[in-house]
């Protein structure tokens, strides 16, 4: 079990193998709380909506096709 030392500001470094196991990377939010005499650092799951944003990269093509389709339906 690795031992870490806190800085003057109370910061600690989570060892790399633990960060890798729990997929903690730059910007990962963690929940810190106490449980009796222990401090628990629990990574929060990424927001799937936020993570998926821009994933398709259609540059508006799908939206334009949808609008055009709706216009054709309205003409009928």
| pLDDT per position as a tens digit, 26-57 | 989 999 999 999 999 999 887 777 766 777 77
In a domain, 3, yes or no: no
Quick one: pLDDT at residue 45? 81
In a domain, 28, yes or no: yes
In a domain, 40, yes or no: yes
3-class secondary-structure state, position 35: strand
For 23, the domain range is 16-75
Cα angle 45-8-14, degrees, rounded to a multiple of 5 = 30
In a domain, 24, yes or no: yes
In a domain, 8, yes or no: no
Length of the chain as a residue count: 76
In this model, does residue 69 exceed pLDDT 80?
yes
Task: Give this prediction's pTM.
Answer: 0.56
Quick one: pLDDT at residue 44? 87
pLDDT band at 7 (very low <50, low <70, confident <90, very high): very high
In a domain, 43, yes or no: yes
In a domain, 2, yes or no: no
Instruction: Provide the number of structural domains found in the chain.
Output: 1
């Amino acid at each position: 079990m690795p031992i870490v030392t806190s800085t003057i500001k109370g910061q600690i470094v989570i060892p790399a193998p633990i960060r890798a196991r729990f997929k903690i990377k730059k910007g990962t939010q963690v929940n810190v709380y106490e449980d009796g005499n222990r401090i628990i650092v629990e990574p929060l799951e990424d927001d799937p909506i936020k993570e998926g944003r821009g994933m398709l990269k259609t540059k508006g093509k799908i939206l334009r096709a949808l609008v055009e389709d709706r216009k054709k339906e309205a003409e009928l």
